[in-house]
Amino acid sequence: MTTNGRRGTVTWLLGFLTLLAILNVLNAIIQLNGSGSTVSFKTFGASLGSLNVEAYFWISVITTFVLFGAMSFSIYRGLPTDPQVLQRLAKVEQSLAVNSNMLENTQIGFFRRLEENEKANDEIFRKTNISLENIRKEALDSLTKQNTALQSMEEESRKNAEILKKQATELASLKKKIEKIGKETTQRAKLTGQTKLKQFKGISPRLAAKLSQIKTTNVSELLAADPAYIAEKASELVETIADVQAMVQLLMVPGVDEKHAKLLVEYGITSRRELAIQDPVHLYRGVVGVAKTYVTQGKMSASRVPTIDDVSSWIKQAQL
């Protein structure tokens, strides 16, 4: 084989390899636009390995230019002077230039699409962040309102508890007052108008017998009689009969017993009407003064000394 023949064979072989390289570039572009990130190489069913798509693209481009340069060098080194050959070479160069421009435009479009996708992703991420921030603020505002509402409810519950406690105290106090009033109202007088004088311990049996002789047998008849008349018929002092009538009137007041009646008579209270118009504190002081004298003399135990409540109750009962 001549030198020109071998050169022609090498040139055609380089051209074929260049065509294969261009096809690999187109395949790499297709792979870049697809969803895969790697490309696998197989031959006769056997795997030869895998390669990153972007690296595969650039290796194919570089290989294409290297083979194209080698083919051009082989052509120009033994280029014939035939004008038709030159014309064919010009067409080949033009075709290669078009292919190169197409590859360049494809690369530009690819990177432009990547840039647009990156911008779109950034915008989506920004909107997502804004949405999450708004949701966080709304949730925080809602929790703040709920916390405020709970604090208000707790404060209201505390106030209601205080009100209930106060009402319970007032009810307990009112209950005690009602019980006290009920106790006072349910107290019975030691004497009534129909009580027989012989049943009254404040009158001696001798005096009761003399009163019976002059037709004075009960409390009503005793109070209606003239003290001077009774004193004359019973041979008693008028003051003694007046004191007995005073004690009888006071014993008709609920809550007053014989000891208390004696204290009141000793202090100067001789009728129910006088008892009704007394000032509780003033009367209490006077009665206690007399009671202390009785206690000293042994006529009354200290436990029988009336309280201010007792005196107030006597006055209220006398007013009824």
Whole-model pTM: value is 0.41
Query: Has residue 295 been placed in a domain?
Result: yes
pLDDT (0 to 100) of residue 35: 58
Q: Is residue 249 part of a domain?
A: yes
Q: How many domains does the chain have?
A: 2
Domain with 223, as residue range(s), is 197-319
Q: Which residues contact 60 (CB under 8 A, 6 or more apart)?
A: 21, 24, 25, 27, 28
**One domain for residues 118 and 214:** no
How many residues would you count in the chain?
320
Model pLDDT, residue 280: 92
Is residue 287 domain-resident? yes
Model pLDDT, residue 202: 76
- Asked whether residue 8 falls in the same domain as residue 105, the answer is yes
**pLDDT > 90: percent of the chain:** 9
- For residues 123 and 227, state if they share a domain: no
Same domain as 210, residue 104: no
* Structure tokens belonging to residue 286: 């006077």
Average pLDDT, the chain: 81
Q: Radius of gyration (Cα) for the chain, nearest Å?
A: 66
Q: Do 7 and 125 fall into the same domain?
A: yes
Give domain status of residue 271, yes or no: yes
Contacts of 191 (CB under 8 A, 6+ apart): 200, 219, 248, 251, 252
Domain match, 116 and 16 both: yes
Q: Is residue 192 part of a domain?
A: no
List the pLDDT tens digit at each of the 320 positions of the chain.
Answer: 566 667 778 778 888 888 888 888 888 788 777 756 776 666 566 665 677 778 878 888 888 888 888 888 777 765 555 567 567 767 877 877 887 788 788 778 778 888 888 888 888 878 888 888 888 888 888 888 888 888 888 888 788 888 888 888 887 777 776 555 545 445 688 888 888 887 777 788 888 888 888 888 888 888 888 889 888 888 888 888 888 889 888 888 998 988 888 889 989 998 899 999 999 999 999 999 989 988 898 888 888 889 999 999 999 998 88
Could you count the other beta carbons within 10 Å of the beta carbon of residue 151? Answer: 10
- Quick one: pLDDT at residue 80? 53
Is 18 inside a domain boundary? Answer: yes
Residues 106, 202, single domain; the answer is no
Answer with the one of 98, 130, 162 that is the final residue of a domain. 130
pLDDT of 308: 92
pLDDT of residue 136: 84
Eight-state DSSP code of residue 307: P
Residue 226 domain flag: yes
The phi, psi pair for 48, rounded to 5°, reads -100, 0
What is residue 185's predicted lDDT score, i.e. its pLDDT?
46
User: What pLDDT shows up at residue 119?
Assistant: 85
Rounded to an integer, what distance in angstroms lies between the CA atom of residue 61 and that of residue 57?
6
In a domain, 310, yes or no: yes
Q: Kindly report the number of other CB atoms within 10 A of residue 292's CB atom.
A: 13
Render pLDDT for 49-105 as a digit per residue (tens, 0 to 9): 677 778 878 888 888 888 888 888 777 765 555 567 567 767 877 877 887 788 788
